[in-house]
């Protein structure tokens, strides 16, 4: 038996129907379309507005579409992993809920929590599982209901986030030089003061005080996070390109985390690539955290060709960051 490689064999996605526009936001807080577009490049974002529906609902929708698209028998799925920062509950895991709703009889499931870098972290974990030879087929989902942790009275953050989910099927193959080729993943560990939720965890459990003081929403020092994100994502892409012999002449696509259009443009500039080769969905989906990269793959899937060299990169709370080098395994469907 030859070396086992881990390849993506399909992509499914889901975004809610409700569109929150900049115009509507401007009626909620002191902001406007020009201010938002100039600073972050977001025109609209999707919101899961129905009461009682959480991240698992979107994750399940994306996974169901993926299973139908790939034609995979549900009982042949070995594991299902959800990367999210907005789990339905503290416990059980969102992944366990998805497995139950989908009726996957032979899959174990868990959540992987690495904020906006969750998908690229989890892809490396899944590839290791596949390459071990013990697992042949794993569903990986990036999903976040960021509206549930967004303060719509805070003009600095309320325009940034949206809701969505996307899923990829990761399978084993003995075909050479295909699939996930390399990952460079790091955790700075100094990011806590600059990007966090103040309450709700074991350090500061929920109380009347924390609710009254609006401490259950995303807090961010935008300028600091922006500076770190530009530097880390750009350098991570340059590093993984260099150690794999990738240049502007043979990189087909960059898939950056969709946090800010100016960060995305800085990453493209560092690699000397035109924006036509950069996957972008921030303008119409906003920052969907762990879902941004797989949602981009979902939207661009029909344009991908077998053998395409793809670099994915992200940055998130923690500070987590890194890049994957993926050689695409099929012509887009």
Which sequence positions are flagged as catalytic? Answer: 116, 257, 287
DSSP-assigned states of every residue in 252-304: -EEEE--S-HHHHHHHHHHTT--GGGB---HHHH-B-GGGHHHHHHHHHGGG-
Q: For the range 15-18, what are the long-range contacts, defined as Cβ-Cβ under 8 Å and sequence gap of 24 or more? A: 15/46, 15/58, 15/162, 15/163, 15/164, 15/165, 15/285, 15/295, 16/46, 16/47, 16/48, 16/49, 16/58, 16/163, 16/164, 17/46, 18/46, 18/47, 18/48, 18/49
The C-alpha angle with vertex 272 and arms to 9 and 259, in degrees rounded to 5, equals: 60
- CA distance to 105, 177, 208, 301, per residue, from 9 (Å): 21, 15, 48, 11
């Amino acid at each position: 038996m030859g070396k086992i490689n881990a390849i993506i064999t399909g992509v499914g996605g889901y975004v809610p129907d409700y569109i929150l526009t900049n115009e509507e936001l401007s009626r909620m807080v002191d902001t406007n379309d020009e201010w938002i577009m100039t600073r972050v490049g977001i025109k609209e974002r999707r919101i899961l507005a129905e009461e009682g529906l959480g991240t698992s609902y979107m994750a399940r929708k994306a996974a169901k579409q993926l299973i139908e698209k790939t034609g995979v028998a549900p009982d042949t799925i070995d594991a299902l992993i959800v990367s999210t920062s907005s789990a339905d509950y503290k416990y059980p895991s969102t992944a366990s809920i998805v497995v139950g709703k989908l009726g996957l009889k032979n899959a174990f499931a868990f959540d992987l929590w690495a904020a906006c870098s969750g998908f690229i972290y989890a892809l490396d974990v899944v590839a290791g599982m596949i390459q071990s030879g013990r697992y042949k087929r794993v569903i990986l989902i990036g999903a976040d209901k960021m509206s549930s942790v967004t303060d719509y009275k805070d003009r600095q953050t309320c325009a940034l986030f949206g809701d969505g989910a996307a899923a990829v099927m990761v399978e084993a193959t003995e075909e050479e030089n295909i699939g996930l080729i390399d990952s460079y993943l790091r955790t700075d560990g100094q990011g806590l003061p600059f990007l966090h939720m103040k309450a709700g965890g074991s350090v500061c459990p929920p109380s009347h005080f924390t609710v009254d003081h609006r401490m259950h929403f995303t807090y961010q020092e935008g300028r600091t996070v922006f500076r770190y994100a530009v530097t880390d994502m750009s350098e991570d892409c340059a590093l993984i390109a260099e150690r794999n012999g990738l240049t502007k002449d043979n990189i087909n696509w960059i898939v950056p985390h969709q946090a800010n259009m100016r960060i995305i443009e800085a990453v493209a500039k560092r690699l000397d690539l035109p924006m036509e080769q950069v996957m972008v969905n921030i303008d119409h989906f906003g920052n969907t955290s762990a879902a941004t990269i797989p949602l981009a793959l979902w939207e661009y899937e029909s344009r991908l060709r077998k053998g395409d060299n793809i670099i994915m990169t992200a940055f998130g709370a923690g500070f987590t960051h890194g890049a994957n080098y993926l050689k695409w395994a099929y012509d887009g469907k």
